[in-house]
């Protein structure tokens, strides 16, 4: 079995946390390098946790070397506090790390985006997600896989209003309506991303909508 080195940003969020845990258990990966602003919440022989400043990428960009970059950074406008702050996290940081990875010869990028993302969208969040998709698709990766999941069930990361939304969506899906848009557990999304990362796929850029993610 060929062993790989995974690079992860966004590892302290719901999807990123699940990604790291599953990568540590996956026999295809021997080394997992996490780049985060916070100290590690876990330790493992396969895990190297780098505490970094995303505003000072020049200091540590040479460390972004491996086989696959998993990019799962993201926040909300409420948590960020402003559109400028959200843009920095959801676009600038991910764009700049991806650019450094491509320049360092990392062959594959797997990006968590969002349903409805489009650089032409009138909605701020969907627009910046679309802009990021467009930008990374032009970078010098051998493969770019873009995941546009539906509403994510983030387990213990969920806020009270999100829990209500999930209950509603699950009720709707029991009626057979919008089945592909049913809330997706972050553990499932992480599993599907890892599954794609170890496949031999002869496509440079691939975008997965909710229905496709469910069926991978």
User: Looking at residue 13, which CATH number applies to its domain?
Assistant: 3.40.50.720
Q: pTM for the complete prediction?
A: 0.88
Share of the chain above pLDDT 70, in %: 87
Q: Is residue 90 part of a domain?
A: yes
Query: How do residues 4-23 score in pLDDT, each as one tens digit?
Result: 999 999 999 999 999 999 99
Where in the sequence is the domain holding 119, given as residue range(s)?
4-154+184-215
Planar angle of CA 47, 49, 50, nearest 5 degrees: 145
178 pLDDT band (50/70/90 cuts)?
A: low
Whether 163 maps to a domain, the answer reads no
Number of domains in the chain: 1
- How far is Cα 148 from Cα 115, in angstroms, rounded to an integer? 5
CB 123 within 8 A of CB 86: no
Average pLDDT for the chain: 90
Does 87 fall in a domain? yes
pLDDT tens digits along 186-211: 999 999 999 999 998 888 999 999 99
Of 135 and 159, the one with more pLDDT: 135
């Amino acid at each position: 079995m060929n062993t790989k080195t995974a690079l992860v940003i966004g590892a302290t969020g719901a999807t990123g946390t699940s990604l790291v845990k599953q990568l540590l258990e996956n026999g295809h990966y021997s080394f997992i390098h996490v780049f985060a602003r916070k100290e590690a919440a876990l330790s493992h022989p396969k895990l190297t946790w780098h505490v970094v400043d995303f505003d000072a990428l020049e200091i540590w960009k040479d460390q972004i070397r491996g086989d696959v970059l998993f990019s799962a950074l993201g926040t909300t406008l409420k948590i960020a506090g402003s559109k400028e702050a959200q843009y920095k996290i959801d676009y600038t940081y991910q764009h700049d790390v991806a650019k450094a990875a491509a320049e360092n010869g990392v062959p594959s990028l797997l990006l968590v985006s969002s349903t409805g993302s489009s650089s032409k969208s009138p909605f701020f969040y969907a627009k910046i997600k679309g802009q990021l998709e467009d930008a990374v698709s032009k970078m010098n990766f051998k493969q770019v896989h873009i995941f546009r999941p539906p509403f994510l069930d983030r387990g213990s990361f969920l806020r009270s209003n999100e829990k209500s939304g999930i209950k509603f969506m699950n009720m709707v899906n029991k009626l057979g309506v919008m089945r592909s848009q049913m809330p997706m557990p972050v553990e499932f999304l992480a599993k599907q991303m890892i599954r794609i990362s170890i496949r031999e796929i002869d496509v440079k850029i691939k975008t997965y909508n909710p229905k496709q993610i469910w069926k991978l």
